[in-house]
Structure 1
């Protein structure tokens, strides 16, 4: 077996006081005698850096509200602009995942935080009428580096915590990061409400020092785990495993929806309900805020009841909320539309927590079915789940691009978002059916065995 990402073993000492040479969170004594404290400290500063990363990634969901008629960009162009940021953020998640083991979780957190200065400073330079659309597209693409922070942060924190704590820890890490979306939207609302929609540089000036602070605190307070190694064999095995792609599909439905709606909500309000920038900004932050806050709850519920069960019923709820949005869109009822959309945000956040909890549980269940037990099973689960998380996160984030492209086409052809919402409704129905069929449907009862026959291990995912 290939060495697990966090399996205790002899390692060559690395220079620097921020490297931890032995890490075994599944050992209860190790965990209680300092392991928990170290893991929680790294979680805290990981959340801060990822929070700023999400804010920068979704920067253009706010900047487009500042782009009035004088910028000469139509609604379809604005949807494509925010879609560019989403797409780049999805693709960079794969290399960011492997960078943790290559450079160390603390070291990469510092570097990735400082990288956020590039798109923020660039936006401050170009954000004015008369700038070409291609320049805006290039700067929007640069903000994609903020999306990569999620993958490296989740991979790093996954290594710090034992399986029994992963749902809560990953949910808290991701939820704290996700809150970066409503926070920058609130900051944008404050700027528009006080200085007006012609002063986007004020918003950018606030975030530049925050980026420096996050990088500095990560350098001073976080650690690298020496036992964490890139396992190319595990990566190849994860790519070949059907569950990696099934979970990627489900994660499109949860996180892809969250990030796609976060980018698009303000534009939909402006173009379908004729809201002013201030009116749109006063509403757009509510959904992402509630969706972010509830993500750790999704992880905690998954720890208790099983991620597959929570995910199944969550997709049913998402379909119901989308149906409300469709009806409100047809009836042109802004209060009902807003209520349904915010409920949809809450459910995406809940599903984000439950789906991410499923990943380590699935591979642990596979280990048990292979006849492994104890630390060997835990090691196999860590190895495969760590390898698959970056890919699942990247594919899931592409769902945000799909949502913005769907809205772009919907407004181009029908001048309303209704057709896009109908397509989302159908997608959630497929996600519901897939979750049930793969992870909750009871296997067929095997034929009776003779007394001498040994029952083969059966793979059950009902508790993942």
Structure 2
């Protein structure tokens, strides 16, 4: 495992070799996972800081509820868009090197927001600062691509779940920090000031303790192959339903509480962190269950549960029942986190299954799976995050049209039903010959994805 391009580059990396993994691989992989989680965690906090900053922005800021939903939509949109280049930056610069750069870039939106956050600032200025904050959403894509390369297939669900869950916790952490600041009588600039040294610490720790994998090379062909593969876009659709829900609700929950249920910013802050916290903590469990029972099965029944919870939310929203609304919304957060873990575990499993169906074995199959799953993760993560944009725009339109979020919840219910149907039809409905019999007959196999 000698370095090939400086002391922080690892030349040989074969996690599927059990002796290598037990001897040195596991220790190195877990060290990189730890500091990847830290940097991604701060990135999520910066990305979602506007979900709490808008709670500070009272009537003196001159923003309507529609303005605030538009602002959070812009932040979410940029976070989704930058996930694609962030994914491939790992192969260009190295996982450690890009983590340093990505963490350092978080200073731009944080310092800029610190400078302009005051009444009298124009709405257009807030929109431009929101555009900058969106770069925090890209950290997830580069982090997941990097960690995917470090771990063997048998542990990817757990490792990716931990990495993503630890990052997702950045959402409730900044909401809790906002609660503490509001409770202490502080303003938004206090909250922003807390995060500036944390960003610096994340970049420094990545420089000191993370590694680059020389085997993860820039491969534009992989990006094109992933974009051509239908499973990239099918999984993108499913990820809209899981992660798109998580990030969209994280941005919107506090605003729904203040606009529909009349909660003050402090009262809303007491409630908003609970759902994202539980949804983040359960994400590794979703990956673990997918490792054991198959990601497709867990994802399928998770969408059933999400649809049922959303149906109850329609009732709670219609009857303005705050206790029921909050309780079921928290359940929906938990289910979105569980589904995040199971859907992301499916990605490497699907491409591994395709490799085996092509007749590849051993390291050749693993390399094929790593190549396409790593490339597809950026696209899937980007499209999935667009679900958060859709959720905020749906809430905006629902409040403009009906004065409540009920119309948006009806739309979400229909989407979860469609996601259930797609999961079953593509990954669990068995039609046509299995790979072995298809190969013998010389026909195109229909892969069995129930175990992915």
Q: TM-score range by the shorter chain?
A: over 0.9
Aligned partner of 1:108 in structure 2 is 98
Say if 1:226 and 1:417 are closer, same or farther in 2 by CA, change over 3 A. same
Q: Deviations over 1:65-107 (max 9, x none)?
A: 0000000000000000011110000000011001001111001
Aligned partner of 2:423 in structure 1 is 435
CA separation in 2, counterparts of 1:258 and 1:23?
Answer: 34
For residues 55-94 of structure 1, the aligned pairs below 5 Å read 55-94=45-84
Q: Secondary structure at the match of 1:79?
A: helix
Matched, 1:136 2:126: yes
Q: Secondary structure at the match of 1:310?
A: helix
Matched, 1:298 2:286: yes
Say if 1:29 and 1:342 are closer, same or farther in 2 by CA, change over 3 A. same
Determine which of 151, 168, 172 is the counterpart of 2:141. 151
CA separation in 2, counterparts of 1:164 and 1:289?
Answer: 27
Q: Give the gaps of 5 or more residues in structure 1.
A: 1-7
Q: Deviations over 1:180-208 (max 9, x none)?
A: 00000000011111115xx1111011100
For residues 1-400 of structure 1, the aligned pairs below 5 Å read 13-14=4-5, 16-196=6-186, 199-400=187-388
Shift of 1:13: 3.2
Q: Give the gaps of 5 or more residues in structure 2.
A: none
Say if 1:376 and 1:97 are closer, same or farther in 2 by CA, change over 3 A. same
Shift of 1:12: 10
Shift of 1:442: 1.4
On the 8 A contact 2:37/2:163 being kept in 1, the answer is yes
CA separation in 2, counterparts of 1:431 and 1:325?
Answer: 18
Say if 1:130 and 1:455 are closer, same or farther in 2 by CA, change over 3 A. closer
Count of residues in Structure 1 that have an aligned counterpart in Structure 2: 448
CA separation in 2, counterparts of 1:131 and 1:257?
Answer: 31
Say if 1:18 and 1:438 are closer, same or farther in 2 by CA, change over 3 A. same
Bigger CA drift: 227-236 or 33-42? 227-236
On the 8 A contact 1:371/1:457 being kept in 2, the answer is no
Q: Deviations over 1:359-415 (max 9, x none)?
A: 000011111111112222111111110110000000000000000000000001100
Q: TM-score, normalised by structure 1?
A: 0.95
CA separation in 2, counterparts of 1:86 and 1:456?
Answer: 40
Shift of 1:454: 7.0
Shift of 1:230: 1.7
Matched, 1:407 2:395: yes
CA separation in 1, counterparts of 2:231 and 2:131?
Answer: 30
CA separation in 2, counterparts of 1:304 and 1:127?
Answer: 48
Shift of 1:21: 0.9
Shift of 1:139: 0.4
On the 8 A contact 2:432/2:446 being kept in 1, the answer is no
On the 8 A contact 2:55/2:265 being kept in 1, the answer is yes
Q: Deviations over 1:120-173 (max 9, x none)?
A: 010011000000000000001100110000000000000100111100000000
Q: Deviations over 1:216-267 (max 9, x none)?
A: 1100000011111121111111111100000000000000000000000000
On the 8 A contact 2:81/2:382 being kept in 1, the answer is yes
Q: CA RMSD in A?
A: 1.5
Aligned partner of 2:413 in structure 1 is 425
On the 8 A contact 2:245/2:388 being kept in 1, the answer is yes
CA separation in 2, counterparts of 1:42 and 1:423?
Answer: 40
CA separation in 1, counterparts of 2:371 and 2:119?
Answer: 50
On the 8 A contact 2:432/2:445 being kept in 1, the answer is no
CA separation in 1, counterparts of 2:234 and 2:331?
Answer: 25
Aligned partner of 1:3 in structure 2 is none
CA separation in 1, counterparts of 2:102 and 2:442?
Answer: 52
Q: TM-score, normalised by structure 2?
A: 0.97
Aligned partner of 1:4 in structure 2 is none
Matched, 1:416 2:404: yes
